[in-house]
């Protein structure tokens, strides 16, 4: 009742061939219902999208994405009506979607769209199987209906379905589309990057403001003469703002150019994943306008202040060539540098916290042995035209050949690789000896694994046994459970021999294995059931290979084993388990690297700022220093005085920045993998680095002060 339209979608990997005799090329498709594009409100730019009657008769038609049409077919305008072979089945191309259309999976780039009712033909998945739960719904709210109203409506539907299908999980979660996929994952990271970039901009603007103040001090006589000759204050301010505007506009244009050159750098931070990730960083008119507006704001904030101060010279002092007061301006410049130091501390501490989070992630026990020597090899049996029976036999022969390859210690197959982006499968379960609460969700995560899986992964079997070669199709269905399952449902009782019902079949528990980390390194273990792969077929298992040395050196050898088993069997997305695990810490990886760069730039700019202020102060105190030296002050004492002044500014700025950094750390605590926002190691290292940079920045002004000749200083105006 809450929705005006509902569609479904599920990602599916397929093999596409245009002409007979050529090898199939892997493509990522989205299998959708016939009204999918109508729900999204999108039309094809060439041809058309699906019609409702085509869904009912499972018509073999395909709609291409604009990117795939351009990349694979050279943007051929005659593509509509052409025939493609998809997993060996003939399909007609009926349309091409607009450029930049990504569907409802934000952050993924699908190549083509098929009707969901054709899945039984191309991948062997039965759409009518209510227990599979592989389809994702997408709906458009009716006018005036809120998300809360829609959630209550779906709860009602679930209760009604419970009466008809009591063995299934008849529940739904209603969430807005813009909170799904890449935006929900990357928003905190990009938010942190935007904040730190803003801090670097503020530091740079503070430096420019200091330079403009110094320049205005040097032009005091010029401004005094102009005003004495009749120039108004507004005219002077306008001239100085124009000068600042030219500087800011030039910087903004250079920044846009650098952004164009460097936007691809973020793509290189994305770890290898078996999905069509599409993080599209577009340099459009809005981005350029934002940069130019920001440049104009920098002029108004940091150019107007020096202009206002410079436009109020002491005319009497200027015309009589008397020295003008500069203590107030020195105080302003000192405050600006202290602010720069505070901002640099925030940038560096944030970067340090992310680096510590990455370091900690490498020390967290994932629940399996040495991910660096475990190689993951994807495949898809449907792309090779294999059905259930031939697919099982193919996997058995493939594992036998891989296990006998030189350098291989063990090999097995599994469908759920932990600590990645892939979604785990769930099934409504009935557990012997456990009575669920009335509203308890009994959908439990499961994985399909072959014999030797636990030995290959290095997951300890705590009781009973693992999955063996004897657990074939047709034999008694068996499962292995983890510790979290036993704690949750059997309260420490012996699980061996108990029954679990999933997918309409009873499974006997034959083993108990140790818990691991599944979705993330910080999330506690949840109940997990391991089924025997031969008893619960899957067309796209991941081959796990434990090797003695460098895993990537064996990829060519293992690819040959794939071809020897079946020339059409593809080896997809080879990667080590260590690389795969980077998916679970991609936010920390991107944050640590980019924030480290920005933090370094911030510290460099702050160092320049303190150097400029100390050099300015030494110049202003030349006479005073000359008097001190003439009265017997040692050179080391003069140099120490300058260093103390620099460190005093640093301590003030660092104290303010430390408090702000604690607040920033608390905002990012969910991404820090258990590292405290007040991590003492990070703050200590940043303090040492800050002192070193400040000492280096003050060194030249201190040496210059120590070498002042008192005779020359006392003769100076």
**pTM above the 0.85 mark?**
no
Q: Compute the distance between CA of residue 661 and CA of residue 664 in angstroms, rounded to an integer.
A: 5
Q: Tell me, what's the pLDDT at 230?
A: 76
317 pLDDT exceeds 60?
Answer: no
Comparison of pLDDT for 145 and 323, the residue scoring more: 145
Class of residue 496 by CB neighbours under 10 A (exposed 0-12, middle 13-18, buried 19+): middle
132 pLDDT band, cuts 50/70/90, is: low
185 pLDDT band, cuts 50/70/90, is: low
Report pLDDT digits (tens) over 212-227. Answer: 777 776 677 777 777 7
Under 8 Å between Cβ of 362 and 521: no
Q: Compute the distance between CA of residue 31 and CA of residue 104 in angstroms, rounded to an integer.
A: 12
Range ranked top by mean pLDDT from 333-342, 401-410, 531-540, 649-658: 401-410
21 pLDDT band, cuts 50/70/90, is: low
Q: Which residues are CB-neighbours of 232 under 8 A, at least 6 positions away?
A: none
497 pLDDT band, cuts 50/70/90, is: very high
Helix (H) or strand (E) holding 141: strand 136-141
End-to-end distance of the chain based on CA atoms, in angstroms?
A: 86
Q: Which residues are CB-neighbours of 262 under 8 A, at least 6 positions away?
A: none
322 pLDDT exceeds 80?
Answer: no
247 pLDDT band, cuts 50/70/90, is: confident
Q: Tell me, what's the pLDDT at 327?
A: 47
Report pLDDT digits (tens) over 648-694. Answer: 888 888 899 899 889 888 887 777 777 888 999 999 999 888 888 88
- What are the DSSP E strand ranges found in 572-715? 572-576
Report pLDDT digits (tens) over 586-637. Answer: 777 777 777 788 888 888 888 888 887 777 777 777 777 778 877 888 888 8
320 pLDDT exceeds 60?
Answer: no
Comparison of pLDDT for 697 and 336, the residue scoring more: 697
């Amino acid at each position: 009742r809450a929705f005006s339209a509902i569609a479904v979608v599920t990602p599916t990997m397929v093999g596409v061939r245009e002409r007979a005799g050529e090898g199939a090329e892997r493509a990522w498709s989205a299998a959708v219902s016939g009204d999918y594009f109508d729900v999204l409100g999108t039309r094809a730019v060439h041809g058309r999208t699906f019609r409702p009657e085509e869904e009912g008769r499972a018509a073999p038609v395909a709609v291409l994405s604009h990117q795939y049409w351009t990349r694979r077919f050279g943007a051929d305008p005659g593509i509509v009506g052409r025939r493609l072979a998809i997993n060996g089945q003939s399909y007609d191309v009926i349309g091409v979607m607009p450029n930049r259309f990504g569907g409802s999976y934000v952050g993924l780039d699908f190549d083509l769209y098929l009707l969901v009712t054709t899945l039984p033909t191309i991948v062997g998945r039965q759409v009518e199987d209510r227990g599979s739960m592989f389809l994702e719904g997408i709906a458009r709210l009716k006018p005036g209906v809120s998300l809360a109203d829609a959630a209550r409506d779906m709860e009602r539907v679930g209760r009604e379905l419970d009466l008809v299908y009591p063995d299934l999980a008849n529940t739904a979660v209603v969430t807005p589309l813009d909170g799904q996929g890449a935006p929900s994952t990357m928003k905190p990271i990009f938010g942190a990057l935007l904040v730190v970039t803003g801090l670097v901009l503020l530091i740079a603007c503070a430096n420019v403001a200091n330079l403009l103040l110094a320049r205005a001090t040097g032009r005091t006589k010029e401004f005094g003469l102009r005003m004495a000759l009749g120039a108004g204050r507004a005219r002077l301010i306008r001239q100085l703002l124009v000068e600042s505007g030219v500087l800011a506009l030039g910087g903004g244009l250079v920044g846009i150019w650098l952004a164009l050159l460097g936007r691809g750098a973020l793509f290189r931070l994305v770890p290898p994943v078996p999905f069509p990730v599409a993080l599209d960083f577009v340099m459009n008119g809005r981005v350029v306008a934002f940069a130019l507006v920001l440049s104009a704001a920098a002029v108004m904030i940091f150019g107007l202040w020096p202009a206002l101060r410079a436009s109020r010279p002491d005319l009497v002092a200027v015309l009589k060539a008397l020295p003008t007061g500069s203590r107030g301006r020195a105080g302003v410049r000192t405050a600006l540098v202290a602010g720069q130091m505070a901002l640099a501390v925030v940038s560096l501490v944030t970067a340090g916290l992310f680096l510590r989070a990455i370091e900690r992630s490498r020390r967290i026990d994932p629940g399996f042995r040495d991910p660096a020597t475990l190689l993951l090899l994807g495949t898809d049996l449907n792309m090779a035209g294999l059905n259930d029976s031939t697919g099982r036999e193919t996997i058995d022969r493939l594992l036998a050949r891989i296990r006998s390859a030189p350098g291989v210690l063990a090999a097995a197959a599994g469908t759920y690789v932990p600590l990645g982006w892939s979604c785990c499968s769930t099934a409504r379960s009935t557990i012997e000896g456990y009575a669920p609460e009335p509203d308890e969700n009994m959908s439990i995560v499961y994985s399909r694994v072959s014999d030797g899986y636990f030995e290959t992964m290095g997951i300890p079997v705590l009781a009973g046994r693992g999955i063996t070669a004897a657990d074939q199709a047709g034999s008694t269905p068996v499962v292995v459970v983890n510790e979290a399952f036993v704690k949750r449902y059997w309260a420490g009782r012996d699980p061996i021999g108990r029954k679990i019902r999933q997918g309409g079949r009873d499974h006997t528990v034959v083993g108990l294995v140790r818990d691991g980390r599944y979705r993330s390194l910080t999330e506690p273990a949840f109940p997990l059931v391991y089924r025997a792969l031969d008893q619960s077929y899957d067309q796209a298992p991941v081959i796990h290979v434990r090797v003695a040395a460098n895993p990537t050196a064996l990829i060519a050898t293992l690819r040959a084993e794939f071809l020897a088993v079946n020339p059409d069997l593809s080896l997809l997305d080879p990667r080590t388990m260590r690389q795969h695990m980077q998916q679970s810490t991609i936010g920390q990886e991107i944050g640590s690297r980019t924030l480290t760069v920005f933090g370094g730039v911030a510290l460099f700019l702050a160092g320049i700022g303190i150097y400029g202020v100390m050099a300015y102060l030494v110049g202003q105190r030349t006479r005073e220093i000359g008097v001190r030296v003439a009265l017997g002050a040692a050179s080391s004492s003069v140099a120490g005085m300058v260093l103390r002044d620099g460190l005093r500014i640093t301590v003030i700025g660092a104290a303010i920045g430390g408090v702000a950094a604690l607040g920033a750390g608390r905002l990012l605590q969910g991404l820090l993998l258990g590292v405290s926002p007040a991590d003492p190691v990070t703050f200590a290292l940043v303090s040492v680095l800050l002192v070193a940079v400040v000492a280096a920045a003050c060194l030249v002004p201190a040496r210059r002060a120590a070498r002042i000749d008192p005779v020359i200083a006392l003769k100076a105006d």
